[in-house]
Amino acid sequence: MSQRVKVRQILLDENTNYDVVVKGWIRSFRNNQFIALNDGSTNNNLQIVLEPGSVTPEVLKRLTTGAAISVRGTVIPSLGKGQRVEVKAVELEILGDCDPEKYPLQLKNRPSLEYLREIAHLRFRTNTFGAIFRIRHTLAFAVHKFFNERGFVYLHTPIITASDAEGAGEMFRVSTLDPKNPPLTENGEIDYKEDFFGKATNLTVSGQLEGELGAMAFGDVYTFGPTFRAENSNTARHLAEFWMIEPEMAFYDLEDNMNLAEAFIKSVIGYALENNREDLEFLAQRLEEEDKQKPQQERSELGLIQKLEFVLNNEFMRLTYTEAIDILKNSKPNKSKKFDYIIEEWGADLQSEHERYLVEKHFKKPVILTDYPKAIKAFYMKQNDDGKTVRAMDILFPGIGEIVGGSQREENYDKLVTRMEEMHLPVNEMSWYLDTRRYGACPHAGFGLGFERLVLFVTGMGNIRDVIPFPRTPKSAEF
């Protein structure tokens, strides 16, 4: 019997008195007898019991926090508190030592999240990050499950592109030209004709435009991949590299789009509640302790699990941008000038403070805002008959702000091209995109959901850097 069994399986198994091989890392060792072993399959450790005298003093000394070991033994009922079963060791082998003088993750005092960010290559070994990244995995799996069950095709859109989906220009250039001595045009500008792709290219900010091409053939598609934004937003909700889920559906209007987005978010949250209960409970507990350090009025009304259940069991509030502006204009923080950006008139872009006011103070539930002014939205959104607004929808979440941005797309060729010209977009270079409106155009819609913002919400963490394994932010690309 040399097949390794995972700790999670042993802890779930009703049986006892059977032999196993377990492998993992020591979380703690006490009384020269009890090892708390963790193998990453669950936050719960497996207690390994050594018979006194069964290992040499040399080996005992090497049983330190962080060391990797292999144990053969018998699963028996535990007499101690805190665990149902334990493993009585028959054979123990140290696979990798871990110098207790140097190991940065000693259990003595709980390291801060900021410190753990500096040692992100080791932070997976803590309970907090173990829980976060198992939940992240489950959510990613649930994304594919949701769309697969509805017959969507997972379309891999390119990471290197020559187009800027938003026209926002916050892109990372991809180039193999020699930065010290780039070829120049007659006007003295860098000559990208000489570059690898024969033109200027960048990392994608969104897979939507290519997604639309797929939707015009498969009906329903989605992408789920990395996207890149060279925006200098040093906030707790922005990354320079993040993962985005972008479904795109033919024959959907804005309402179908909202219905799908709401069902999707509820479905993946529900899946995490079913499959990551222990990890969520661990994080809930952690948040509760953190909350106790805060003044009364800053504490959250709901625990993490209740908050997730609340989202599952309540319909998102739907209203138009125009209705939201009226609420915001007349709101207390606007009148008493508590907002950093005072809402004075229709047309203002909503800042995250406004979004959060609507969600956290006014409606106290997730909100879907629709029909935004066209001036603050992308060129491809379907224009309403009023000439002022577009069929956009943003979903706003408590503690997060915008989690989804989407719209029904403008399928009318002439209207779309006119809007592109108004916005000074390179119509000629986007002929491939316009073909969707030339050949068999149909009403269609889609949205983008920032995966890390979803993970932030589900884990209850406060900083987006703590829900992606290796965060990329301005001035930081470690590991």
The least distance separating ligand ATP from the CB of residue 450, rounded to whole angstroms, comes to 2
Question: 45 vs 227, which CB is nearer to ligand ATP?
Answer: 227
Question: 72 vs 365, which CB is nearer to ligand ATP?
Answer: 365
The least distance separating ligand ATP from the CB of residue 261, rounded to whole angstroms, comes to 11
The least distance separating ligand ATP from the CB of residue 449, rounded to whole angstroms, comes to 6
CB-hemisphere CA count at 13 Å for 157?
Answer: 31
Judging by beta carbons within 10 Å of its beta carbon (0-12, 13-18, 19+), is residue 56 exposed, middle or buried?
exposed
Question: 231 vs 253, which CB is nearer to ligand ATP?
Answer: 231
The least distance separating ligand ATP from the CB of residue 359, rounded to whole angstroms, comes to 13
Interatomic CA distance for residues 416 and 429, integer angstroms? 14
The least distance separating ligand ATP from the CB of residue 34, rounded to whole angstroms, comes to 43
The least distance separating ligand ATP from the CB of residue 453, rounded to whole angstroms, comes to 4
Question: 111 vs 471, which CB is nearer to ligand ATP?
Answer: 471
The least distance separating ligand ATP from the CB of residue 324, rounded to whole angstroms, comes to 15
Question: 34 vs 172, which CB is nearer to ligand ATP?
Answer: 172
The least distance separating ligand ATP from the CB of residue 238, rounded to whole angstroms, comes to 4
Question: 382 vs 453, which CB is nearer to ligand ATP?
Answer: 453
The least distance separating ligand ATP from the CB of residue 447, rounded to whole angstroms, comes to 8
Question: 249 vs 403, which CB is nearer to ligand ATP?
Answer: 403
The least distance separating ligand ATP from the CB of residue 171, rounded to whole angstroms, comes to 12
Which residues in this chain contact ligand ATP in the complex, by CB under 6 A?
166, 229, 231, 238-239, 242, 244, 402-405, 448-450, 452-453
Question: 35 vs 350, which CB is nearer to ligand ATP?
Answer: 350
Question: 242 vs 252, which CB is nearer to ligand ATP?
Answer: 242
Provide the β-strand partners of residue 201.
174
Question: 214 vs 448, which CB is nearer to ligand ATP?
Answer: 448
Reduce the secondary structure of the chain to three states and give it as a string. CCCECCHHHHHHCCCCCEEEEEEEEEEEEECCCEEEEECCCCCCCEEEECCCCCCCHHHHHCCCCCCEEEEEEEEEECCCCCCCEEEEEEEEEEEECCCCCCCCCCCCCCCCHHHHHHCCCCHHHCHHHHHHHHHHHHHHHHHHHHHHHCCCEECCCCCEECCCCCCCCCCCEECCCCCCCCCECCCCCECHHHCCCCCCEEECCCCHHHHHHHHHHHCEEEEEEEEECCCCCCCCCCCCEEEEEEEEEECCCHHHHHHHHHHHHHHHHHHHHHHCHHHHHHHHHHHHHHHHCCCHHHCCCCCHHHHHHHHHHCCCEEEEHHHHHHHHHCCHHHHCCCCCCCCCCCCCCCCHHHHHHHHHHHHCCCEEEEEEEHHHCCCCECECCCCCEEEEEEEEECCCEEEEEEEEECCCHHHHHHHHHHCCCCCHHHHHHHHHHHCCCCCEEEEEEEHHHHHHHHHCCCCHHHCCCCCCECCECCC
